[in-house]
Structure 1
């Protein structure tokens, strides 16, 4: 199964401000996001990694406490120690990750809504090689890597979360503008995946720059 990265144009600071906001109306509003039902569905994902998204939202909005970051709590008679992550459940990083995806959907713009997103693989590599040959300096492959973008417990598997800096978005966009896109090949029913990827990269970065927003991606 291919890994796909879902991009959002959204303010990183605005998403971070959700943590510990203690805003009940915000919690209810986030549940109106287009992607909420999909990722809150009990049948979503691996049966071994089930979670209650409403509970995860409540943790982020009401239970998050940055003063607990890095502390350890002792268990029964001090025999066991468990790492605390700012008041969040230590082994639920993946659940908070998907919850943040929905939060980004609510607070920002879900880019590439007509497709699943950017797929890892041969066509992606070919498109990136074209960008690099035209002067791209940014490591665009980090879109499929896991980074500490938000203050949540570590994610062992998916989703992999990344946020491109303004400088990186500018670099990607400027280079993408120098590449002549075959619009017909990119938009045709039997479209050329490489041309579609190059066009999507250009459009996603342009949307972010025009709106002054960050580019946050979730790969799974």
Structure 2
């Protein structure tokens, strides 16, 4: 039986989410959008543009871009949490998808994580509630490491964050990205305040590289995606009807 459909009135333009990177061990926490779903139900999101999407754990949620549109169909399968990678026009975003029954409580806040971050990052300014924001100057590894678990809780989304990194930490972050990107035939370099991604790889390698940028970065910067994605050539006889055999 087909799951119950509930069409969301929420419009989440991917281009408006921008593209920013965070953390020193992979891309950039926090996520751009947090979405809650119910098991065995569908939800639609209208995007301004989308080339492709990939769910980290398709056993929890499936995601499908509807043919001929920029509409995204999410289907909750079982209670749990996973991430969704979205890509369009040289930019990517990551959403957190949580599947829970109607009436289930929101994840509990962890004030102790904010307390640890305040201690490690002098001058940190945090506002919670309807107008959430987090502003901090990340001057050393201790501060960066204290921020990561806090940002993974979804207490703040990417658009609510303002991080400024000291140059040595930017260099550490770039060094941490070197190995996972090199494994896909790619390289990254900073140009001004932005990160340039270059090289040639397969569609799978491109996706792995973007996941690495998310998971191993903290403190997001604009991405200039110059990757040449090598798509397999169609078979020579593709589209050619086979002769009938007597």
TM-score (norm 1): 0.27
Structure with the larger strand share: 2
Greater length-normalized contact order (CA 8 Å, ≥ 6 residues apart): 1
The structure number with the bigger radius of gyration is 2
